[in-house]
Chains A and B, each alone.
Chain A
């Protein structure tokens, strides 16, 4: 009997927890979900059907951007889905979806019954933001092909595919390590004490430190791996991406997870660039290149072609 009681209580608690966590999504029990769609509309999903007369009344909604509570965005059109649970609001002047929006509704009516008022926040999912930072650092703003950083190491290690992959992986590990330390140090030490002018010294020190740390750890933990990747470790310090990433995350005031994604994206983006370039350069060795273009000049031209191709990613963003 006692056992059963405990079981019930636990299940009950679990249900409450689920309800609360679902409820947390929107802050109101009758509203299941609010989201941006197509960068122009806000879609509200209700738990049950709402009355058409209520839903279609523009005065029942008030939408504003979080930092501008006094400016209500004028609603152009309201559409209701056939099953009356989804309301789509479109606006006169498009939406700035980078900004969180607040949506207030007047007393909601469902089948003639009142469901109370709601204050809802509409914003892009945090996961989406993280993903867009990651994809941004890796492809859209690829550090090698669109920001032109880390070129010395890039041209030096892109002759063989195996070297390229080794360098890329080593670099990714070190940069994630260094960037996380840089983020913590910047947010908790340099910024509070107004020592941001020491950024450069501190960050280059951290990069050297992480190279040393990865070196030591790898040597002890996995000597085979060290043998394969150890040679690339020194080159990481000469790579300006390693110092650019901490500087960028300090400039943009990124949070911890965002910094992690930026560093990971930068590292993997470097790996992608190296892999593409080394594949092309291995083929290039068989080609008949004019003597004055042999070596670096043709490599630059190929890199230029890649850069042009990567221009195609620019402006891409994830909604």
Chain B
């Protein structure tokens, strides 16, 4: 168990950088393409995912000793579904306008592979504190990725950031169109790959 040797701080940054759910692990792509049209959408869905991830991780870490190994996965699903229902109800009640903008995606957090994966790989083997940090890191990593995508699309598509006019004109309407999500995610991934390739080449040259 290599993870146990990591400090809480490392666990926290692991989710944001090394194992970023969207850009590195390529999981939970649906919302990344579907509703990353503005920074605000990214922020809100990111917060919902953060909430579900942290609470589910803590719940599972708390009750891990009582879960029968045979019904491990159903228990995870039930836990996630419960917290998703809670956040769904809360969002619908307190931020109805933003909730409508996110549509069905809040409910679909229940099918996110990333959350189940973290429960199975981490929370079921570690303490509550470690799971909390891990969950927080993963959730923030997701939120960060969603906001980056939202930033790029909002800036290039509408010339605004968080609804404030920044550029004063609208460079490429294409970026806010629904299908552009695929292109933006693809290009961002390619960019990360390119940076990695260049970085590795530099390292080699240095040696």
Chain A positions near chain B (C-beta within 8 angstroms): 145-152, 155, 197-201, 204-205, 208, 237-240, 242-244, 247-248, 290-294, 296-301, 303-304, 307-308, 310-311
B28-A204 in contact (CB<8A) = no
Residues of chain B with a CB closer than 8 A to A199's CB:
107
Q: Is B193 an interface residue (CB 8 A)?
A: yes
A297-B104 in contact (CB<8A) = no
Give B101-116 interface residues, CB cut-off 8 Å to A.
104, 107-108, 110-113, 116
Give B79-116 interface residues, CB cut-off 8 Å to A.
81-82, 84-85, 88-89, 104, 107-108, 110-113, 116
Residues of chain B with a CB closer than 8 A to A155's CB:
26, 29
Residues of chain B with a CB closer than 8 A to A150's CB:
30
Residues of chain B with a CB closer than 8 A to A294's CB:
193
Q: Is B187 an interface residue (CB 8 A)?
A: yes
B179 touches which of A201, A239, A290, A304 (Cβ 8 Å): A304
A238-B183 in contact (CB<8A) = no
- A-side binding surface: helix, strand, loop or mixed? helix
B107-A300 in contact (CB<8A) = no
A300 to B28, CA, bound (A): 14
Residues of chain B with a CB closer than 8 A to A204's CB:
77, 81, 110-111
Nearest to A237 among chain B residues (CB) is B111
Q: Is B13 an interface residue (CB 8 A)?
A: no
Count, A-B residue pairs, CB within 8 A:
114
Min C-beta distance of A304 to chain B, whole Å: 3
A238 to B191, CA, bound (A): 27
Nearest to B27 among chain A residues (CB) is A152
Residues of chain A with a CB closer than 8 A to B74's CB:
208
A240-B108 in contact (CB<8A) = yes
Chain B positions near chain A (C-beta within 8 angstroms): 26-30, 33-34, 74, 77-78, 81-82, 84-85, 88-89, 104, 107-108, 110-113, 116, 178-183, 185-187, 189-191, 193-194, 197
Ranked 6 nearest A-B pairs via Cβ: A300-B186, A304-B182, A307-B179, A148-B34, A292-B194, A297-B190
Given contacts A152-B27, A243-B111, A293-B193, 14 further A-B contacts (CB under 8 A): A151-B29, A151-B33, A152-B28, A155-B29, A205-B81, A238-B116, A240-B111, A290-B190, A292-B193, A293-B190, A300-B185, A301-B186, A308-B179, A310-B179
- B-side binding surface: helix, strand, loop or mixed? helix
Residues of chain B with a CB closer than 8 A to A208's CB:
74, 77
Min C-beta distance of A185 to chain B, whole Å: 15
Looking at A199, A294, A297, A301, the one whose CB has the most chain B CB atoms below 10 A away is A297
A208 to B78, CA, bound (A): 11
A200 touches which of B28, B30, B88, B180 (Cβ 8 Å): B88
Residues of chain B with a CB closer than 8 A to A296's CB:
26, 186, 189
A95 to B117, CA, bound (A): 52
Min C-beta distance of A288 to chain B, whole Å: 15
Asked if A197 meets B89 with Cβ closer than 8 Å, knowing A292-B197, A293-B193, A307-B178, the reply is: yes
Min C-beta distance of B39 to chain A, whole Å: 18
A200 to B104, CA, bound (A): 11
Min C-beta distance of A227 to chain B, whole Å: 23
Can you give 21 A-B contacts (C-beta < 8 A)? A151-B30, A152-B28, A152-B29, A155-B29, A197-B89, A198-B85, A200-B84, A200-B88, A200-B110, A201-B81, A237-B111, A238-B116, A243-B111, A247-B107, A292-B197, A298-B190, A300-B182, A300-B186, A300-B189, A301-B182, A308-B179
